[in-house]
Amino acid sequence: MADATAPLKCVIIGAGPAGYTAAVYAARAGLEPVLFTGKEPGGQLMITTDVENYPGYPEGVMGPQMMEDFRKQAERFGTEVRYELITKVDFTGPVHKLWTESDQVIEAHSVIISTGASAKWLGIESENRLKNKGVSACAVCDGFFFRGQEVVVVGAGDTAAEEASYLAKLCPKVHLLVRRDEMRASKIMQERVMKTPNIEIHWNTETKEILGDDQVTGVRVYNNKTGAEQDLPATGFFVAIGHKPNTDVFQGWLDMDETGYLITIPGSAKTKIPGVFASGDAQDKVYRQAVTAAGTGCMAALDAERYLVEHGIA
- Decide: 100 and 36 in contact? Cβ < 8 Å: yes
- Known catalytic residue at 142: yes
- Decide: 135 and 162 in contact? Cβ < 8 Å: no
Residue 282's contacts (CB-CB under 8 Å, 6 or more residues apart) are: 14, 18, 113, 114, 115, 116, 117, 245, 246, 247, 261, 262
Residue 29's contacts (CB-CB under 8 Å, 6 or more residues apart) are: 301, 305, 314
Number of H helices, E strands in the chain: 7, 19
Catalytic residue among 10, 141, 171, 298: 141
Catalytic residue among 69, 90, 103, 138: 138
Beta bridge partners of 207: 221
Specify the CATH superfamily of domain 8-118+243-310.
FAD/NAD(P)-binding domain (3.50.50.60)
CB count, 10 Å around CB of 144? Answer: 12
Provide the residue ranges of all domains of the chain, joining segments of one domain with +. 8-118+243-310, 121-239
**Burial code of 253-275, b = ≥16 C-beta within 10 A, e = fewer?**
bbebeeebbbebeeeebbbebeb
- Known catalytic residue at 255: no
CATH architecture under which domain 121-239 falls:
3-Layer(bba) Sandwich (3.50)
- 8-118+243-310 and 121-239: same fold? yes
- Known catalytic residue at 298: no
pLDDT of residue 39: 81
Burial class (CB in 10 A: 0-12, 13-18, 19+), 2: middle
> pLDDT per residue over 4-40, tens digit each?
578 999 999 999 999 999 999 999 999 999 999 988 7
- Decide: 48 and 144 in contact? Cβ < 8 Å: no
CA–CA gap between residue 24 and residue 76 (Å, rounded): 8
DSSP 8-state code for residue 187: H
- Which residues of the chain fall below pLDDT 50? 1-3
- Decide: 43 and 33 in contact? Cβ < 8 Å: no
Catalytic residue among 3, 10, 142, 231: 142
Residue 229's contacts (CB-CB under 8 Å, 6 or more residues apart) are: 208, 220, 221, 222, 223
* pTM of this structure: 0.82
pLDDT of residue 2: 47
- Decide: 112 and 22 in contact? Cβ < 8 Å: yes
pLDDT of residue 1: 47
